[in-house]
Structures are given as structure tokens and as C-alpha cells.
Structure 1
Amino acid sequence: MAAPSIAMDSRHQSSHKLNKAEKKFLRKQIKAKHTLLRHEGIETVSYATQNLVVANGGLGNGVSRNQLLPVLEDCGLVDALLMPPNKPYSFVRYKTTEESRKAHATLNGKEIVDDLGQKIILYLNFVEKAQWKELGPQALPPGLMVVEEIISSEDEKMLLESINWTEDTDNENFQKCLKHRRVKHFGYEFRYDNNNVDKDRPLPGGLPDICDSILEKWLQEGYIKHKPDQLTINQYQPGHGIPAHIDTHSAFEDEIISLSLGSEIVMDFKHPDGITVPVMLPRRSLLVMTGESRYLWTHGITPRKFDTIQASEHHKSGIITSDVGDLTLSKRGIRTSFTFRKVRRTPCNCSYYVACDSQRKESPPSFPESDQEASQLEREYVHRVYEEIAGHFSSTRHTPWPHIVEFLKALPDGSIVADIGCGNGKYLGINKELYMIGCDRSQNLVDICRERQFQAFACDALAVPVRSESCDACISIAVIHHFATAERRVLALQELVRLLRPGGKALIYVWAMEQEYNKQKSKYLKGNRISQGKKEEISSDASAQGLLLEQMPDMGHQDTASSVPCFSDIQEGECHSNKVANSELPVHTNRTSFHSQDVLVPWHLKGSSGKAKPVESLGPLGSCDTSAVFHRYYHVFCEGELEAACQTLSNVSILQSYYDQGNWCVILQKL
């Protein structure tokens, strides 16, 4: 490894011991170096060169070119500053090695403040050359067009002033609040519960009169081919966005147009093959989606307060390129979009069958087909299984998750908090200043909670016997994915919200379909094998952070808790059957990516011989057969799906959504 910074060496040339702060800095510098190598393939060197990689000093963690360059120039003449898009590091090349050596000594460990006022620490290492994973050449998705300066600044002001956000506050057809954005519908209401419109119930008044002349002009100039009859106005606050989605084929005709007012934004378009194209939408520009870009590519706005954009003045709209010498950050402002669509009167017959709801209706319905079947599935593959495995399940669930701990510890002292689906109660005693109660469908897990002196009771998460608006906060960790239909999952969310007082918050975790996210594998895929009773490293990166498998959330593939050798995950060749008796659902292969959203996940118990220790009695259904494989039903959530389900609730606001090691997570607040 590279030696500590020259500045540190010079301070301690007469001493062989480092103080606590210096040891901490050295550990972090080494960790930054290893992370760059492991995740980005960037090799650092121990000797001085003209080139440095600056960890924490990148566009991906909120450091702009205008912010970083002056700091670097204080140490010498900068030949080039290369900032790869969306990466938390950059490269600087100095004119001479002496200047780069000075920067390494002076700036290593330097604390700077980003544009959000947050403090970050720079860690510098020498490299032979700048290297990163480049994006290939990109073009706009087929059928996509961006027209700049489509209206004047006077028209923009007139349109913005025409929106009365305070009227009709009691009428949900006209005004909604979704994830920190205000929404109004004209012509027809867009319903977020089914992502469609009621074509037989137009809203009174049609489109605003102020839009008529603008739409007529666009028709005459050939930018659009059809006059829209539906308008959705969204107002986005800085830092918030909208999940990636495709406008429902059966709801609207081919042409979808969106006018951006008030602030520029970067919208991400993603092809099913994984290609992502970031597109700049300048203020007063018109986005026109037709053909493939409308029917096949998803589009969305990533929640963040800064966008990566081209630094040059002549770069305005279109693709954000990977020109690392010409990228910087743009702070978002309040953006208002006018999205115009024409309601479709006949089924869609596009050639993009995979994303077309009109044509998918011809295929057999997905399992389960009814609420009764869903309830039966849950009884067989959720309720019964947890009663059987409760004791062993509890023994693998003892280390709380950091983000959940943070949520609980941030609540005011004296708050009343309900853990809906509390399992063995590992979160019930996290914050002694809270009044926490837990409930779970498994009586055996509730009994374990009571043995630990926690307040818990048995009930169904769809019908919690607690008074409405009596809780300051709720948590639902790895529970809602056990409900077998979208309707039942929404009902579970509604029950959480019912318990909250106005202003109360809920934290929700569900398993993610995406076990590889932002080019990083979740701990599920990295895994932690138990080999002859010894722990093996998840990865050197995870070990360096002190992360063992038992610290991960309650995911079935993580049932190999390092302290419990009696469980062994499915080995090669075991339990690879496609179906389980009496079930149409595929059986998931542990420690692999998910290939279906609705799956049965095996919980495998070894017998008492050999290395494995006996499994204790597991409740009134009898001691579990220690050679059995149990299957639990899961609906794994795709990106944006949990947010979309929360957005169907009329009285909540989504405060935060994030991905946490194989889970999609949301913090919502009752309005």
C-alpha cells in the first residue's frame, strides 16, 4: 500500500506512533484506495506521478468543477481536471510531479464544504494515468425530440402564474400531493392507483384556455401531430423526482409532450437492455416522445439536488455526454412541467408487446387470480412456514440494521412506535426512550418477543387492533413483500398509515428485484458461506467495514447467519425444482439474481448429525423436520414499485426513498 501522506510523514518523522485521529485518517485513506480498485478498477501507485485520483471529490457526491478546481490550483498549475459523470471521484493532472506531490501532501485529508453545506474529506492517491469505465457513444432514444426555447419567457411567466395551487383543495380530482410534488389534472384525471384515466368521466372545463393558442402554434409548426385533451401539471421541489415509468399504452395515444418551466432538469431514459441515456431538458423546452421512446423506454427523474451537465455554454439540451473534461454540476430549482396527452379510445396495437398492457391482457392472468387464492397462498407459504421455523429464524435475526436504528433513534423521546411484523423483536429495544409495541402473524415469534420482555401481540398486518392515529411512528421491515397481490400490499400500507397520527412517520423495507444496483452487488449475491463452522469473508471490502452477514436485513438468502451453523443455504444441485407441489410459483435459487417477481424462497435446515446442531422445538405444529426445506412466498419489488404503491395513498407524503443492500426503502409521513 502507499505510505501515509507526506504531510503526515513530516509531522511524525521523530515519532513511530500515530495518534488516534491519524490512525483513523490512515484507515480511511486505505479504504478509499481499496474501494477505487475493487469497484472501479483504478490502480494507485506508491510513488509520485503527475496524476492524482481524488476520492470524495467527484460529481457523484456533490462536488462541482467550480468548487474543486480552485482548491487544486492552490497547489500548482493544473493541466487537466477530469470528472467522470456520476462518480464520487475525479482525476487531476499537474504540470509537474513536484506540484502533484505538494497537492498530495497538502490536500490529503482536507475538509471542504459542498454546495449543500455538507462537509466532505478528500483522499488523494497517485496514479499512473486517469482511468474509468467509459460510457459508449449514445444517441437520443428513437422517437425522442427536445425543442429548445419553445416559448418565450413572458409566456413562461404567464403559464406559471395561471396555476392556482390553492383552489379546489377539497377536491382530489384537481389537486394531489405526491412525493413532495404538487399535481393538478385537466381534461381527465390521471389515477395513480391504476396508472390510467377514466375515459367516461372527463373533468369539467377541459384544458385551460391559456394552452389553446400554444398548442395550435405547435400543431402548425409541426412539433406535434394531434391536439391533446389531457394535461397533468407537476411542480417538483429541488431534490425530488419521479420513478422511472412508461406511460400506460392503453391510456394515451402515441404522442406525449412535456413542457419544462422554471428550471432545467436531467431526465433519464432507460432501455430494457439496461442502456441509460441522460437527457438535459432546459427551461422553456419541449420534450416530444413518440414511437420507441414512448412505448419501450422508461423515463424518470432521479431524486437529487444537483444534475451533472455539460460545462460549456454551447451545450444546452440533449444527451449528457461522457466528456469528463466538460462536466459540472447544476443546482436544481423549482420545476413545473406541463405534460399533454391524448386519451386513447381503442386498444394499443404497437409493436412493443413486452411493455404493452393492451396486448398483455390476452395472456393468461398471473397467479394468484383472486383475493381468496392470495389469502390461501399466504397461509400456506408465509404463516405456516414462520410458525414452523420461528425458533431458528429468531436465532438468525439479532443484529439491527443501521438505517433502521437511525430512524428509531431520531424520533422524539416518548414517541409511541409500532413495529408491524416485528419478528423476534430485535428493533423493539433499540431506543429505550420510545414506547414500542410489536405485532406479528406468528404466535411463536410473538412468544419469543415476550420472553425478551417486549410488548408484543399476534395479529394480521391487514387488521391491527390498535386505535387509529395513536402512533407517532411505525416500522414495517421485510413484511409487505409477503402479501400476494398488489391490492393486499396497498391495504397493508393503508393500515400502517391508519395507525399514524397526522405528522407521524413510517419506515418500510421490502426485498428488491434488483440485487445488482448502481453496478454493485448486494450482500445477498456476495454471500457469506459457512464452511466447517468457520466464517469466510463476504468480500475484503465488506470485511474492512466490519460488515458480517448477520448485519444484513431479513432476507431469505441471508439465513446463513454467521453465528448459527445449523443452517446451510441451498448448495449446488439442491432444490432446483421449478415448482413446489400445489403451487404455480417458481422456486428461487438462493444466492442468485431474481428472475421472477413472485417466487418461493427456500429455507433449508440440515439434520442434527455432522456439523449441524439440533434445531429446537418450533411450536404447536410440532418440532420441525430438520431435513425439511420450507418455502416462503415473496413478491420482490422492482425499482419505483414501492414508491408507486405509496403514491396511491391519498394522505401521505414520501419523505425519502432509497436502496439498502437488496431492499427498496421508503420513509413516508401522514399529512
Structure 2
Amino acid sequence: MEGAVENMRREKRSKKDLKVLKRERKTQHTLLKHAGITTTQQPTQYLVVSNGGLGNGVSREVLLEVLKEGGAVESLLMPPNKPYSYITYASVEDAQNAHRLLNGRTLNGQDQEVTLYLSYVHQVGGEVIEVAPPLPPGLSVVEEFVSPEEEAELLEAVDWTSHPEELTVQKELKHRRVKHYGYEFRYDNNNVDKDKPLPGGLPPQCGAVLQRCLSEGHVDFLPDQLTVNQYQRGQGIPPHVDTHSPFEDTILSLSLGAKTVMDFRHPDGQAVAVVLPGRSLLVMKGESRYLWTHGITPRKFDVVPASEDEGSGVVTSDLSNLTLSRRGTRTSFTFRKIRHSPCDCAYPSVCDSQRPPSPPSLPVANSDACRLETQYVHNVYEEISAHFSSTRHSPWPRVRDFLLSLQPGDTLADIGCGNGKYLGINPQVLSVGCDRSASLVGICAERGFQAFVSDGLNVPLRSSSFDACISIAVIHHFSTQERRLAAVRELVRLLKVGGRALIYVWAKEQEFNKQKSKYLKPNQNQGNLDQGSRSETMETMQGDEEHQPENCVSGSEERQTRLSVHTNRTAFASQDLLVPWHLKGGAKAEATPTQARVFHRYYHVFQQGELEELCRSVSGVTVLESYHDQGNWCVVLKKTQKDV
């Protein structure tokens, strides 16, 4: 009888082990497919822990406590937002023990139960560990700026249950509730009525705090406007730049209650996540106030440094020092000084007091198109060439594949070669490039590539002399249908019969076939943020309406033909538009104004089928392939007959 019971127990354990093994193998396949992590059956001292990551709500502290049951832990690396972690044990024996004991272990994450699956890997550290970026210029965080007693007094001063309208203005917004003192911020026009102050002024409990800000040099004036925002757990607010004209430079924001992470982003894409502990003071001035967007991502947990001595500041990419922080109710007190004269900051591209010139209209004649492209394409690339080149170093995989498919000894012409990043992909091919920008051609020469200055509509190369041509992100800069067609014809002219050309242009459909372009970023509603400075539904000041002159605000015919200015990282609203390029300053930058300079490039973004139709309209051409690749429409064509 006892033998039968023992056999049943063994069979039950065997089934459980088989189930765990099956799930382990499934997670190994998932890791390889989605994260590029290769596991091994050979025991090592390194393990990858599936389901045990910050991305699925497992904190460092909880996971480490469980992993120590297996043996001595040397390191634990937890990539942000990933559902896995890397563990290094002191010995292979400890790793084997952990694999045996912990595989299939269920533990409580922050909001759910998770089951851990452990797999051996040859090494850890495949994730890139970047150096923590610096705080945006002009930004600082002062920890424990107020005492717990002052915090309680300030929170008590805000009565959310009753609010006499003659003293304050209280609103229930979509993701938070807000209260204004001193002056009301109007969300309908993103401004304040400077002639209508609220008679109650700021709460007297703020007096000592503001005097301390003044005496410690955080501000040169006493603020006279206060916006109080209260966020419940899981609430956030979209990225924004505070409207310039209502308030003076420095903005103070006091965080009371729970810790949170605020995300800052430069127009060139640089992002910095900043931890704001409870009772800390955020000081924004200069570039951080006028140029960088800031917002709070709606979520219930933040990735923060695990070390207790790193309470505030930048969230680093040190995978050995990240954990989760549970959000709670946070109340921000944001203080400003009303501005009584137009803003004259060094950032006119995003300043509502310094509206940029009206965008041009769509060209009617060829001469208009030439002038438009000279100003908004050719001249721009001359100005931004160095910065542009620094951002163009990784070839598109399918362009690389096309180039590597060429035979040794083939000839290739790259029309609009930029900094020449495609000229050296296939060293067995004789490659030559041309570009309208002399500065970019100079960069090609510095890199040892053959290139010359030329317009893409009249390339001084012999007809029918190339086995292949590429035109990557060029034809969308031509501003009329006739000129875009001429650009395709020029490519075909250069090809031998049987030669192929690859063309890439920006697609209007940045999200296609359930795949979203990397160009688009999540949470792009450029609404009013923590500082109460923009409307919940308004785009940033680079939006179309912000750039329209007063005499174009009506639905006139002139406005319909005038080019709009695109808001970066959002879907395209029209096919013909100006796209901002924010020139990033570096070590050689002369001053902040240079760092903030913005150029506008003309684009015609192609709709589905438009590029293919354009190519088919050229005689002697067959379209071999047409596809969508990360926000681009792409065509491979073949020349089938000699030029007439």
C-alpha cells in the first residue's frame, strides 16, 4: 500500500516537473524571438529569469529575496520595462541549485502573481548599460525642501471640498483635479487674464516656503500665481512645454505626498527621466523651462534607482540598481510669476510671443517650387549637415539587403547620398554618390567615399551605365508631382537595361498593417501638464494653428494652400508640410540660442500606392516589389528597355 502511494507521489511530481520543463522551453523560445536572448542546456553560473522583471511588476527586493534561496548571488541585472532579469551566482553549483529549487516558483508581484522560469545563459550583460544623461540645462531638484510638518500644513491649506469662486478656481480635469490661486490659468486659450487677479492671493501657508526659495536663490522674485494639481495612483499628464507669454522664466514645483518620475524630452529626441521624491522642489529655468517638454506617464509603478542614497535626480540605465516604486497620491504646488511684457527668450521656435514667419504656400509654377526647395530643403541641409550626419549611422536592413544582393563588379549610384552611409555597405561594388548639399558631400569625402554635388533632377552621369541606383529619403523633398516624376525618370535614365532601383519615401501612413513606425511615440497628446500651462487637447506650439498668421485663421482659400508645420513624433495631418529640425548644440556650440535653433524642411509624404503609381507612369519600367518599411513606402523597380 505504501509503495503504491509513493508511486503516485512520484508520478505527480513527474507530471509537475514535465509541465515546468515545457513552460521553461516555451519561455526560452519567447526570449530568443522577442529579446534575442540565447539560452543553453549546459549549466553555467548565469541565469535569465523569465517573468521576473520590472516590466511585469516584480521589484528587485522581492526577486532578490527569492533568488538567494538558491545560493550566493553576485549580481542581479533588471532591464527597465522588461519581463526578465539576469542573475549571476557565485558558482555553477549555486546556479544549478537555484534552477532546481526555483524553476516554476510562484511569487507575488506588485499587482499580480507571477511564475518564474529559469534558463541558463552563457553570459549576462547583453543589455546596453548607458551612461546616465545629465539633467536638462536649467533644471534642478532639491530634496527635502520642506519638512513633514510643512508638508502637512500645505496639504491642509487646500480644501478640495469647498472652494469659494471669488478666491480660487477649481476644476476637475480628465486625469487630475486642479486648483488655481492668484490668477486663473485659462485652458480655453492657454493663458491668464492678467487684468483679473483672484482676490484671495496665494494661501498664507506658502509664505515661508516662498521666502526660502527667494533667500536660497532659486528665484529672483516672489511668485504671485499657484496651480495645485492632485494625482491619484495611476494618473499622469501628457508631455508639454509651458506657454511662454503668461509667466516669467523660473517655475517652481513642490512635490507633496508620493514619489513620482517626470519625463523630460528635448525636441531632438533626447529623453531624461527624473525622480521627484515627496517634499522635493523642482526648479525649471532657461532651456528646461522653455524648450524641453515634461510630463508624467500614467502608470501605477515607476522604475527608480534602488539605492536609498539616490532619492532624486536622473533615473540611470544601471541595470544593477533599478527597482520599482509604487505610486500613491501626489499633490504638486507649482508657483509662477505673472509676466507683464512679451517673452523675449532665446527659443523663438516654441515661443508664442515670437511667432515664426508664416509658412509658405504650395508652389504653383516650377519657379515657385525651386525657391521653396532652395529655402526649405537645400539651405536647411547645408546648415544642419553636421548634426544630421551624426544621426545617420545605422543603415536600414532592407536597404542593406538590396545592396548586398548586387554582384561583384556591379556599379551603383546613390542619388541623394547624404553622409554616404550606404556607399560602403558592399565593398565589392563600384559605388558613387551625389547630393545637393556640399557639406554632406564633404563628409562623404572625409569618410573616403566617391561623391559629388549634384541636383537629383539633372545628374551628370552617363545614361544606362549603372546596374543599380538607390534614392533613400530624397524624392519626398520635391514639391510638385512633375518634379517627383522627373526624379524617378532620372534614376531610370542612369540604369542599364535590367538594372534595378530602390526608392524610399516617407509614408503618410506611419501606422500600417498593425505595425507602428518608430517615428511615432506613445502618449503624444500634447496637453496641459503638471504646470497647468497648456490645454488638455492642444498640440505643442509647433502645431498648425499656432503657426497660422491672424489673417489666415479663417477658412480661406489661402489657408488651404499654405503649408502646415508638423508636430514631431505625431501622425501626419496632411501630405505637404514643413517638418521641424531642432539643431542640437554640442561642444562647439557658441551659445544657447544656437542650440535651440529650429529649421523647417519641406516634405511631401506619400499615401499608399502613390509611389508605385508614380514609378509605373515611367515608360520602360517594371515594379518588382512595393512594401512599407517603418514609416516609409518603398519600391524596387527594373528597367526593361532602352531610353527612347
Which of the five TM-score ranges fits, normalised by the shorter chain? 0.5 to 0.7
Do the aligned residues in 1 keep the contact of 2:132 with 2:315 (CA within 8 Å)? Answer: no
**Is 1:317 aligned to residue 312 of structure 2?**
yes
- Partner residue of 2:74 out of 76, 79, 84: 79
CA deviations on 1:184-205 (whole Å, 9 max, x unpaired) are 0011112233332222322231
- Partner residue of 2:354 out of 359, 362, 372: 359
Percent of residue pairs bearing the same amino acid type: 53
For residue 77 of structure 1, report the CA deviation from its aligned partner: 1.9
Partner of 2:332: 337
Alignment-mate amino acid for residue 278 of structure 2: R
SS in 2 for 1:161: helix
SS in 2 for 1:343: coil
- Partner residue of 2:607 out of 591, 598, 602: 602
CA distance in 1, matches of 2:361, 2:153: 48
For residue 513 of structure 1, report the CA deviation from its aligned partner: 9.3
Do the aligned residues in 2 keep the contact of 1:260 with 1:283 (CA within 8 Å)? Answer: yes
For residue 583 of structure 1, report the CA deviation from its aligned partner: 5.3
For residue 606 of structure 1, report the CA deviation from its aligned partner: 13
Do the aligned residues in 1 keep the contact of 2:167 with 2:199 (CA within 8 Å)? Answer: no
CA distance in 1, matches of 2:360, 2:337: 28
Partner of 1:285: 280
Partner of 2:109: 114
Alignment-mate amino acid for residue 114 of structure 1: G
**Is 1:167 aligned to residue 174 of structure 2?**
no
TM-score by length of 2: 0.54
**1:374-523 residue pairs with structure 2 within 5 A?**
523=515
Do the aligned residues in 1 keep the contact of 2:510 with 2:516 (CA within 8 Å)? Answer: no
For residue 604 of structure 1, report the CA deviation from its aligned partner: 4.0
For residue 525 of structure 1, report the CA deviation from its aligned partner: 4.5
For residue 173 of structure 1, report the CA deviation from its aligned partner: 6.4
For residue 515 of structure 1, report the CA deviation from its aligned partner: 5.7
Alignment-mate amino acid for residue 598 of structure 1: S
Partner of 2:462: none
Alignment-mate amino acid for residue 120 of structure 1: V
CA distance in 2, matches of 1:319, 1:215: 25
CA distance in 1, matches of 2:14, 2:205: 77
For residue 256 of structure 1, report the CA deviation from its aligned partner: 0.4
Partner of 1:442: none
Partner of 1:561: none
**Is 1:201 aligned to residue 196 of structure 2?**
yes
**Is 1:91 aligned to residue 86 of structure 2?**
yes
Alignment-mate amino acid for residue 236 of structure 1: Y
CA distance in 1, matches of 2:227, 2:101: 53
CA distance in 2, matches of 1:184, 1:366: 43
TM-aligned CA distance change 1:120 to 1:183, over 3 Å: same
SS in 2 for 1:49: coil
Q: Find the structure with the greater CA-based Rg.
A: 2
Partner of 2:63: 68
Alignment-mate amino acid for residue 31 of structure 2: A
TM-aligned CA distance change 1:105 to 1:140, over 3 Å: same
TM-aligned CA distance change 1:217 to 1:365, over 3 Å: farther
TM-score by length of 1: 0.52
Partner of 2:53: 58
CA distance in 1, matches of 2:113, 2:160: 36
SS in 2 for 1:44: coil
Partner of 1:297: 292
Alignment-mate amino acid for residue 302 of structure 1: T
SS in 1 for 2:151: helix
For residue 44 of structure 1, report the CA deviation from its aligned partner: 2.9
Partner of 2:536: none
For residue 342 of structure 1, report the CA deviation from its aligned partner: 1.3
Alignment-mate amino acid for residue 515 of structure 2: K
CA distance in 2, matches of 1:44, 1:316: 36
CA deviations on 1:110-157 (whole Å, 9 max, x unpaired) are 3322122x1223333222222202223321111011112222221111
CA distance in 2, matches of 1:312, 1:25: 32
Do the aligned residues in 2 keep the contact of 1:33 with 1:125 (CA within 8 Å)? Answer: no
CA distance in 1, matches of 2:209, 2:508: 43
Partner of 2:146: 151
TM-aligned CA distance change 1:595 to 1:234, over 3 Å: closer
TM-aligned CA distance change 1:119 to 1:167, over 3 Å: same
CA distance in 2, matches of 1:121, 1:13: 17
Do the aligned residues in 2 keep the contact of 1:58 with 1:84 (CA within 8 Å)? Answer: yes
Do the aligned residues in 2 keep the contact of 1:515 with 1:594 (CA within 8 Å)? Answer: no
TM-aligned CA distance change 1:173 to 1:154, over 3 Å: closer
- Partner residue of 1:215 out of 188, 205, 210: 210
CA deviations on 1:221-255 (whole Å, 9 max, x unpaired) are 21211211110001111111111111111221110
For structure 1, which runs of at least 5 residues remain unmatched after alignment? 1-9, 368-510, 527-581, 608-635, 637-671
TM-aligned CA distance change 1:143 to 1:513, over 3 Å: farther
CA distance in 2, matches of 1:315, 1:185: 33
Partner of 1:183: 178
Do the aligned residues in 1 keep the contact of 2:508 with 2:607 (CA within 8 Å)? Answer: no
**Is 1:124 aligned to residue 129 of structure 2?**
no
TM-aligned CA distance change 1:253 to 1:49, over 3 Å: same
For structure 2, which runs of at least 5 residues remain unmatched after alignment? 1-9, 363-506, 519-559, 576-604, 613-630, 632-644
Do the aligned residues in 1 keep the contact of 2:359 with 2:565 (CA within 8 Å)? Answer: no
TM-aligned CA distance change 1:218 to 1:297, over 3 Å: same
For residue 89 of structure 1, report the CA deviation from its aligned partner: 2.0
CA deviations on 1:585-627 (whole Å, 9 max, x unpaired) are 6999xxxx978443476354999xxxxxxxxxxxxxxxxxxxx
For residue 523 of structure 1, report the CA deviation from its aligned partner: 1.0
**How many pairs were matched up?**
390
For residue 176 of structure 1, report the CA deviation from its aligned partner: 1.3
For residue 366 of structure 1, report the CA deviation from its aligned partner: 9.8
TM-aligned CA distance change 1:193 to 1:57, over 3 Å: farther
Do the aligned residues in 1 keep the contact of 2:223 with 2:337 (CA within 8 Å)? Answer: yes
Do the aligned residues in 2 keep the contact of 1:587 with 1:602 (CA within 8 Å)? Answer: no
RMSD: 4.0
For residue 317 of structure 1, report the CA deviation from its aligned partner: 1.8
TM-aligned CA distance change 1:245 to 1:366, over 3 Å: farther
TM-aligned CA distance change 1:194 to 1:127, over 3 Å: farther
